[in-house]
Amino acid sequence: MKAVVLALAATAFIFLVYLKVDQQIKANPAASRQAYSRRFGFKSHHLVFDPLVASMERQGVKIGGNDNASNPFKMNGLASEVKEAYDYFNDEGKLNITLRIVVLFPWLDTSPKDGFVNFKELEAWNMRMATERLNYRTQREIEARDEDGDGTIGFREYLHHMTDNEIENNGTRHGEAGWWREQFENADLDHNGTLHFEEFRDFLHPEDSENEKIQKWLLGEKIKRMDYDEDGRLSYSEFLERAYDTYRNYIDFESAGAYIPSPETIFSQLDVNKDGFLCVEELMPILRYLHPGELAYAKYFTSYLFHEADENRDGKLSLEEMLDHEYIFYSSVYEENHEDYDEEEDFHDEL
């Protein structure tokens, strides 16, 4: 049946064939995704490949109050709230992901428009979806916390749950007012005491920020959990035991195993002043490996999709290859823990 879909799609998508999607994943890609998630330490990143699914999830948030309040793959009341959603559900009330891939394929195949989806095209798509998700979550938080309706967030608006005494005490332990204030001031680039949309997005999602102050703050928080002797830097043994494995996994994946620096080599390269320790500034070049965010995940998820779906290893995906591996495009990675040194709590979870 998928061959029929492919033939029809090749003729300018004149006919759209609804296919029943009720088979099980042949090679157990769920287990493969979980292994991928454990390997790279992703805990709560949730990339949605299909904008229709993203729209339905957002509608579920309005009704249920959280990002995963409903199952967008089954027909429910949300479908009537999202334009054209009904068109993509089969008679059994299941989302026809085969049809969705056929419809989305021309939108992915853009540069060049050659009948294939190359790595850059798929990565750009996933990055766009991740960015839209970050923007959506940021806007939702602004709407929830912007008490005076000026479109920006002040410090007290964000910490509305704290008492005046707690804020005035300005404690600097994790989660206390002073701890939040440091990051708030890092994000406040124009120093006007409030955060506009871009600043607030950086504040909420520091792992995806290009703000160097925020990046250093984030890395400093990361180091605290690796730093046995609490001297504010990593010795070689601390780096080896707490950071190298995470770094190695990413490099292994990026280079397809072609080149993986030894711990001695990478430590020496990072140790610019050759004092035998790594400070925040020296660890900055590998921040994206030590604490990847949604955007980094989008890139690695693209690599994962290509690894799974590019059967002939030609560096591009045909529609047939995507249809043969359709389920992996509609599965997000959720892992409650991973093989890292400590729990990877989001710095903003406690609110």
Per-residue model confidence as pLDDT tens digits over 210-233: 999 999 999 999 999 999 999 999
pLDDT at res. 64: 61
> Domain locations in the chain?
1-40, 212-292
Residue 72 has pLDDT above 60, yes or no: no
Residue 95 has pLDDT above 80, yes or no: yes
Calpha distance 302→335 (Å, rounded): 18
Mean pLDDT of 333-340: 35
pLDDT at res. 158: 97
Mean pLDDT of 223-249: 94
pTM over 0.85: no
DSSP string, 4-49: HHHHHHHTTT-S-------PPPTT-HHHHHHHHHHHHT-SS----S
Looking at the DSSP bridge assignments, the partners of residue 195 are 153
pLDDT at res. 259: 87
Residue 342 has pLDDT above 80, yes or no: no
pLDDT at res. 254: 76
Residue 61 has pLDDT above 90, yes or no: no
Residue 119 banded pLDDT, cuts 50, 70, 90: very high
Which of these ranges, 83-87, 110-114, 153-157, 297-301, has the smallest mean pLDDT? 83-87
Name residue 73's amino acid.
Answer: F
* DSSP single-letter state for residue 89: B
Give burial (CB, 10 Å; 0-12/13-18/19+) of 32.
middle
Residue 335 has pLDDT above 70, yes or no: no
Spell out the SS3 assignment of 179-212.
Answer: HHHHHHHHHCCCCCCEECHHHHHHHHCHHHCCCH
Phi, psi angle pair for 13, to nearest 5°: 60, 40
Residue 24 has pLDDT above 50, yes or no: no
pLDDT at res. 274: 97
Question: 197-215: per-residue pLDDT in tens?
Answer: 999 999 999 999 999 999 9
Residue 26 has pLDDT above 50, yes or no: no
Mean pLDDT of 265-275: 98
pLDDT at res. 71: 54
* Of the options 3.40.50.300, 1.10.238.10, 3.40.50.880, 1.10.3720.10, the CATH number for the domain spanning 212-292: 1.10.238.10
Residue 317, SS3? strand
pLDDT at res. 128: 96
Residue 264 has pLDDT above 90, yes or no: yes
